[in-house]
Every structure is written in structure tokens, then in C-alpha cells.
Chain A
Amino acid sequence: MGFGIWALGFPEVATYAVAVRGLKKSYGQVDAVRGVSLYIREGEIFGLLGPNGAGKTTLLECIVGLRIPDGGEIEVAGLDARRHTREMHQRIGVMLQSTALQDKITPREALQLFATFYRNAADPTQLLERFSLTEKADATFDTLSGGQRQRLALAIAFVNRPQILFLDEPTAGLDPQSRRELRDEIARLKSDGRTVLLTTHDVEEAERLCERVAIMDGGQIIATGEPRALTTESASMQSVSLSTKPGIDAEQLTAIAGMADVTCDGNRITFRTADARRTLRELTALLDESGIDVLELHVHRATLEEVFLRLTGAENER
């Protein structure tokens, strides 16, 4: 399934299910993807995290052959994806951001139809069962709920028993119950040994489901790693939030050393610091002098969301 990375001259020796190097894609004057390189190991659930418009969907659609990139190399399941697209499609499963089918087609018919095009097709009845669609097997597509449609889209992605799955914002627009069910299904893929590339703008989802994430913004990957490693990188910086009565003027805080990313919103102050003990000592002294009471105080390590916001915020400012 995998391929030797030497074939592409990549800088490390490993077996990758998906390897992308220097991928570029523009729409007119807009550079949607700017020279992205990405490596996903076999059996890994990889998250592509980024705000809306970051280029995640364009990148995924280039990889799966829905869009023709302007440059770069793509290798999927050991195949040059741009030259052997049809063979690649035999081996991968794709769930698009919005999979629409004909209004009057039923889940059973859709799965039977898609199954006929693959060499190694799964049994449509089993797929209906697995994705809890048996009851709705003969209902027309236009009568399915959003969650049922997403489950059907996922079932279609599984119709060829793929080893690599590409899921584009799979839980977007779903109610909490459907979202939980779909996340459970994705989590099961890991135990099945499948490789998954998942795009999302939901940090919690990425943190919960993915072994590694890449944070994408402005058409580029700005950070890659395990969620824990990314937060550990920021471990030296702790996040502090406190509520006071009365509120404090942000100007007064400038005297305190070591505070970064300060936000002051009425009674609530948040900031990051590399030396929480010292900064808090100086801050409490300042509050004492000013006769301000502390109502709440929280100190915690950076979450992936904060890393994400910090990185993408920095990108946006740049």
C-alpha cells in the first residue's frame, strides 16, 4: 500500500499513504494553495485544521482528483495521483463537504449503483446496517435528515472498502447527536487500520480524532505535529484569565513584566506569560494597591485551539 519515499526524493525514509509535495493551485489571481507539502502515514488519522478559506478543501480536492493542481506532486496509495487517477479512485474513499445525490434516489439504490463501479465492492446491505441506514434504505434522498445524508455519504465513501479515506468537514452542519455518532464512526476507522485525511475547522474535533494535525492558513501549512506536541510547544507559555471587581484599566498592566497577548474586556483580563508565578505576584500587588478584588483566577496550559488561534491570527496579521 505504501511507497518508498525515495522515489520522490523526500527528505526522510518512511512509508506514506499520502504524500504531497509543493502543491499549488490558484483561481485567477487568488492563490488558494501555495506550495503545500504533506505526508500522511499508513493507518494514521490526520487532521487538516484551518479557518474557512484557508485552502483545506482545495488541497483535498486536488489530492483526490477533483481539481487539477497548477503544480506539485501527489502520491496516493503508491500511485501518482495525477497520472493514475482512475486506479487511485479504486483504492480511496471520499466524503465531500456536501455530497448531494438525486432527490429521488434511495440509499439502497445509491449504494448499489456506486458499488457496481468498483472491483472490491462492499455489500450495500451491510453498509446500510453499519451506518444505521437500514430503516431509511428505501426512503428517497430528499426525505433524509442532514445526519442521515452525511452517514450515507460516508457509507458511499466505504463502498469500495478503501484503505485511505478523505473526509472533508464531515461533521459540519450536523446536530450534536449526529456529530457524536459520526465522530464515533471515524474513531472506529483507526482500529480498522485505515488511513484518514480529515479536514475540519473544529479544533476540538481535530484534537479528539486526529493523531497528527496540520494547521493551514492562507493556502499554506503553518504548523504540523501531534496535537499534544503542538500544545507542548506552547507549554512554556501559560494562559491566565481573571475576573476583577471593579474592572482594571489595561494601561495599568503595562508596568508588569512578562505579559503577552493581553486582552482586557471590562472586568475580565486574559494574557499569556512564560513565568506565571512572577507575573501573578506582580499583578496581585498591583491589584492590592489599586483596591481591586479578584473574583476568579484561572491558569492553564495552552490548548490546541489557542495554538490554532495564535498561529492563524499571526498569519492573518502578517
Chain B
Amino acid sequence: MIRGAVRQCLVTMRLYFRNPLAMTYGYLFPTVFLAAFWGLYRFDRVPLVRHIGELLTITVLGGACFGLPTTLVSEREKGVWRRYRLMPVPVGALVTSTIAARYVLVVTAGLLQLALAMLIGMPGPQHPFDLWVAFTIVAFAFLGCGLVIAMMADTVPAVQALGQTIFLPMLIIGGVAVPIASLPDWAQHASAFLPGRYAVETLQACVSGDGIRSTLFSAGALLVIGAAACIAGAMMFRWDEHERFATRHDRAWVVLALAAWAAVGAAAEVRGYITTARPAFAATASVPLPTADAPVSSPAAQVQTLHPTTAEVAAGANPVPAVAAATRPPGDAKGGSPVSRTHPTSWQAVSQEDINADLRFDQLPPDGGIITPIATPGDQPDPLTTESVATLARALPQWAPGSVFDPVQRVRNVLYVAAVPDLLQLDIERYVPAVVYERLGAQIERPELIKILYWIAVHPFDGDDQAVDDMTSLGLPPAAAASPEDVRARAAVYGVKLLGRLTGKIEP
């Protein structure tokens, strides 16, 4: 029987390699995802090292939630499994050998992905054995889910539909394609109930972290989910295409498989495993929108109201609603009459009254969003990120644009250092503001800094932005892909965020 199961496993693999569609699905798609991630995170100092967990998870998900059930269901539709049923073999042996074949195929796809990633500059995994163990656990969990899908679906299109209901949520809100830290709170909590998050965490820890021992909860969660799914799939197993939910127990087995997801999510919540990075904000990337009664289309419009003669009016063609909203006079925002007030003509003349009147800290993009993110004090970067941030922190005091004579330009330049990683979506983006703020605090006295930050907020397009072209000496990639207007706008927002912290308007 074992000899037969092994041969069946080998035949399954051989047939897989003869099927161009399966090869495309199994190997080309993961490669496309790898290329896409490489392009998306092209400014990462070390290519893909921080995203290989996500990539491997996508590979396993594709092979397990689509590949396995598609093969099983199409063979069952043809009647292959009816014929198998007439052999003197227990069902478990045939299913196990089929799953084993799929596991080998998924491992080869994962190895291909690793090899390609290393070819383009990613260092080898720090814990290769752990990575294999973690990969096996992830495959076990997802192959179990694939088995349940195969038993629930009657046709291949039904497999696709069911697979997508698992695949897409995990990709979008499950931490598989979008980093958990970028997700809003509700999605971070929801991700606890999806296995994708645990897969990414445990795989990533083996590549660039402290190994599988540092993610025991994730590994355990995947084992629980996989065991429940495998039991459910085995109990629901059917040889014929027309026996779906043949017994009333079948639906109960589906509930069992899903109950494991719920149990794992609940355990994660109860144990405090899911700590959202920024509990103060509920929405992500929620750039404040103009209200109906006080429409603001661009900072230019807003700045024009405040300072109709300033030079940045002409430069304000690029809409930066974040800055606009943050600098909107409260009276305007509430739909009241325009404030008649004398505005400061130099940064030295800025008063607290100006700050109170012109800046709206509650309109700032959330620190936990994707625009101008800032890490919370408890948010510990991984070792690679720590190293990158430390490199930048060491280089910043020697960075020439950060020491120019004009204090306003100096602050602008240093704020650009936070803005560029944000625009390029570098891994270090949310950790750089702390370094920048520290540097500014060390260079400029607090009262002056407050005034300068206000000045930059209401004059975002003043001064120059030549420092943006000199980021490589800080270990950052060239900022050519970021437009100067965007850099200035983001710098202004970071400036307001620091101002809020300095004046107690924002809780750090």
C-alpha cells in the first residue's frame, strides 16, 4: 500500500509537470508576484528581504487553496476518483499521497522564489532549517483548507469562487499582501482570525528574524487550523461529484474547520497578541477631505487665503489636502466667517495665537496610516530596519543640508529626510520621524523650533528643495521618483505633527 501511495504521489507530480496550465499557476504566478513586490518595494535597501514571508505565503496559498482543490475536483468530475475507489486502498492513503505531491510542488515553487529573490540581492535565510519547518507548517494549514474547499466544491469554477473567498481577504486585510502595520485597527483585529497573518509572521521570522521560536504562537495557530481542516476534509471526503453535503454531519465539519480560525483569533486577542500599532486612529490613509461648506482643493488655495502675496502660491499647483486641512483656520472649517487677523510676516513673529488659529491638528493624517506614518514608542523594528535607521541616525549630524545657516531651510531639509522614505514607502519610513525630531530638537531651541515649524506649515513651498537630491549620503535611495511638491507637502505635515507634539496638541 505504501509503495502504491508513493507511486501515486510520483505520478501526480509527473502529471503536474505535463500540464502547462498547472505549471503557469504553480511557478509563473509566484514569479510574477515576486517581480511585482520587487517593483513595489524597489527602494528597499535590501531587496525583498522584508517581504519574502508574504511572497512565500502567497505561493503556498495559491498551491493549496487553488491548485490542490482544482486537481482533486477536476479528477473527481472526470471519474478518476471513482475508479480509485475500486482499488484495495484506504482513502487516507490516496488523499495523503495527493497532498504530499502538492506539498512537494509548493516547496519547489517556494525554493524557486527564494532563489530568484537571492539572485536579485536578498541575503539567504537566517534560519534555513526553521524556514523549512515553518514552510511545512504553513503548507499543512493551507493544504488542509484546500482539502475542505475540494470537498465543498462540485466544479472547478466553484473551487475558484471558494478559493477567492479565502485568498482575497487574506491578501488585503490578512497581512499577506498589505503589511499589517499599514492596516486600520479593525483590519488588524480581523487579520487575527485569518491564517495568512500567522503564515507571514512565522516565515518572515525565519528569513530575517529570530527564527520559528520567536513565533511559536503563529506556528501553533497554523497547526490548529491545519489539523481542524484536515480532519474536516477527511471526514467530508467524497469520491463522487454528486455527494456534496451527503450527510448532515458534513456541514458540521465545515463549521469545525472555521471554528479553528475563530478559536485562534480569539486566543490571539485574549492573550494580547494583536496589539495594533496605533490605537489612537481608526482609519488608514484617511487624508482629511474638504468639508462641503469649506471646500479646500489645494494648499495653494488655503495659503492664498492666509498669505496672498507669498511666492508659494505659484508653486501650489500640486494638491496637498493634508497640509491644507492641517492649516485650515478653524473658523473656515466650521463654516464661519473668515477670520480677520494680522498674520505674522516672519517666522520670528509667529505667536501661539497664530498656531491655535491656523493649524488643525485633528485633521492630520493618522500616524498609523500610509501617509506620514510615525511609529509608536512600543513599535520595535526588526533587526534589519533597526540597522538601517541607525545608519541614518549616525549620518544625519554630518549631513550638510542639515547644517545650513538659515534655520528655516535647515528644518525644511531635515524634515525632507522623513518625507522621502514616506513617499518611497521604505521599510524605515515610520521610524525615521523619531530620528528627525530628535535631530531637530538637538539643533534648535524649542520656542524657535515651534515657530519655524508653523512657518513651514503655512509656507510649504517656500525655500528650496535641493537637499532632496542629496539623500544617498544618508543611506537612502535617490528620491528621483518623488516629486518635489510631494516631498515639500509631506515635510510640512511631518512638521505639523512635530509641532503638535511640542505644543502638547498631540499625544506622542
Contact = CB atoms under 8 A, between A and B. Distances in A.
Interface in A60-98: 64-66, 86-87, 89-90, 94, 96, 98
Interface in B446-460: none
B11 interface: yes
Interface string B1-43: 1011001100100110011000000000000000000000000
B8 A113 contact: yes
A188 interface: no
How big is chain B's contact interface, by range? 20 to 34
A191 B3 CA distance: 34
Contact of A66 (B11, B14, B19, B82): B82
Among A87, A102, A113, which residue has the most Cβ atoms of chain B within 10 A? A102
Interface string B339-376: 00000000000000000000000000000000000000
Interface stretch (B72-80, B193-201, B378-386): B72-80
B377 interface: no
Q: At the interface, is chain A mostly helix, strand, loop or mixed?
A: loop
Contacts of A65: 85-86
Contacts of B480: none
A113 B79 CA distance: 16
B82 A89 contact: no
Interface stretch (B44-52, B87-95, B101-109, B301-309): B87-95
A118 B90 CA distance: 13
Contacts, number: 60
B3 A100 contact: no
Contact of B79 (A89, A99, A118): A99
Contact of B15 (A66, A89, A99, A104): A104
A113 B7 contact: yes
How big is chain A's contact interface, by range? 20 to 34
A87 B88 contact: yes
Q: At the interface, is chain B mostly helix, strand, loop or mixed?
A: helix
Contacts of B82: 66, 96
Interface in A13-29: none
A86 B90 contact: yes
Given A113-B8, A113-B11, A101 B87 contact: no
B88 A90 contact: yes
B271 interface: no
A229 interface: no
Contact of A117 (B11, B78, B80, B87): B87
A112 interface: yes
Among B15, B82, B88, B90, which residue has the most Cβ atoms of chain A within 10 A? B88
A104 B18 contact: yes
A105 B79 contact: no
Given A109-B14, A112-B7, A113-B11, A94 B78 contact: no
In order of increasing CB-CB distance, the 3 nearest A-B pairs are A100-B78, A104-B18, A116-B4
Interface of B: 1, 3-4, 7-8, 11, 14-15, 18-19, 75, 78-80, 82-83, 85-90, 239
Interface of A: 64-66, 86-87, 89-90, 94, 96, 98-105, 109, 112-114, 116-118, 140, 156
